[in-house]
Amino acid sequence: MAAYYKFSGKFAPQGPLLGILAGAGVSIPATFLYVYGTVSIPEAKLRAICTLAFGALIGACSGFAMCWGKVRNKFVAATVGLAASLFGLYFSWFAWIMHLVQPSHWVFNLARSVMHPRKLWSAMLVVNGIGTWSSGSGGTPEHGTFLWIVWIGEALLLAATGTLAAFAIVQLRPFCERCEQWCSQKTKLFFAPSLPADQFKTNLESQDIASLAKLAAGDPKHPHYRVDLYTCANCHSLNTVSLIQSFGKNHKTILNKLMIAPDQAAAIRDLALARSPRPI
């Protein structure tokens, strides 16, 4: 029966701490860019992209720090990503309110006023009653319930992006518990979409690695399947393959971290070597 790799759930105590410090740490300088972006960009869709980028940056930094801190627990990875994103949200609110109150000196005032959540809440209530921007041309600024919905939407978007980014980065590679290290050796193979995804999956699950050699090579610039092999660079005994289908916009993971034997992993590496362009 096909066996899939699962995280052990272990983590060193410093792992989540590093994740929080990295995510919250990068959110401080990034906040200034974020507030600058949200204030100076009039287009609502572009402002939403700023929120996505801000959340992705926080989550990614948090995720990479947790990889460094050897976190192999999905719940911890997601929780730390969420916590770092919420810190970023909190800090960006202070920066934005300070920008509204004192546009010319807000950068300097931020350090002093940042520790007063109650003042921030009072300021938010005042700003919500008045509004600062209008979606129509020359109309009254958006305020009240509609503005609360926009703010909640922004908070959810930021928190979800940060959480997902941290989670995605931590679960990208398997971790060899025997050697206490991430599987850093990666082999990529591209195949033409010459068979249904289910059949490709069944072939891999039945450990039929020999069938891969018979499939036509794919072009990464056109619709293709991709097989990712991760191997522990130290012991070579932990090997996982993932199958990703990329048919234009239809991009999905068909199979995630199926465990295969070392000799089958070696066969995949040999095939990758045989298909790689050789220097003349």
Q: Using the rule CB under 5 A, is 197 a contact of Zn ion?
A: no
Torsions phi, psi for 69 (to 5 deg)? -85, 10
Give the other-Cβ count within 10 Å of 71's Cβ.
27
Hey, what are 232's tokens? 């522990």
Residue closer to Zn ion by CB (options 58, 232) is 232
Q: Using the rule CB under 5 A, is 232 a contact of Zn ion?
A: yes
User: Could you say which of 234, 244, 254, 259 contacts Zn ion (CB under 5 A)?
Assistant: 234
User: Could you say which of 86, 176, 227, 229 contacts Zn ion (CB under 5 A)?
Assistant: 176
Name the maximum alpha-carbon separation found in the chain. Answer: 70
Contact 196, 254 (CB under 8 A): no
**Least Cβ distance, residue 173 to Zn ion (angstroms):** 12
Q: Using the rule CB under 5 A, is 179 a contact of Zn ion?
A: yes
Q: What is the DSSP letter of 4?
A: B
Residue closer to Zn ion by CB (options 215, 232) is 232
Q: What is the DSSP letter of 195?
A: S
Q: Which stretch binds Zn ion (CB under 5 A): 62-70, 85-93, 170-178, 223-231?
A: 170-178
Q: Using the rule CB under 5 A, is 185 a contact of Zn ion?
A: no
Q: Using the rule CB under 5 A, is 113 a contact of Zn ion?
A: no
Q: Using the rule CB under 5 A, is 235 a contact of Zn ion?
A: yes
Residue closer to Zn ion by CB (options 105, 178) is 178
Contact 54, 92 (CB under 8 A): yes
Give the other-Cβ count within 10 Å of 41's Cβ.
14
User: Which residues ranging from 127 to 156 are in contact with Zn ion (CB under 5 A)?
Assistant: none
Q: What angle do CA 61, 68, 63 make, to 5 degrees?
A: 30
| DSSP H or E run through 247 | strand 239-247
Q: Which stretch binds Zn ion (CB under 5 A): 26-34, 46-54, 203-211, 224-232?
A: 224-232
Residue closer to Zn ion by CB (options 119, 178) is 178
Total binding residues toward Zn ion, as defined by CB under 5 A:
6
Q: Residue 243's closest CA among 262, 280, 215? A: 215
Enumerate binding residues for Zn ion (CB under 5 A): 176, 178-179, 232, 234-235
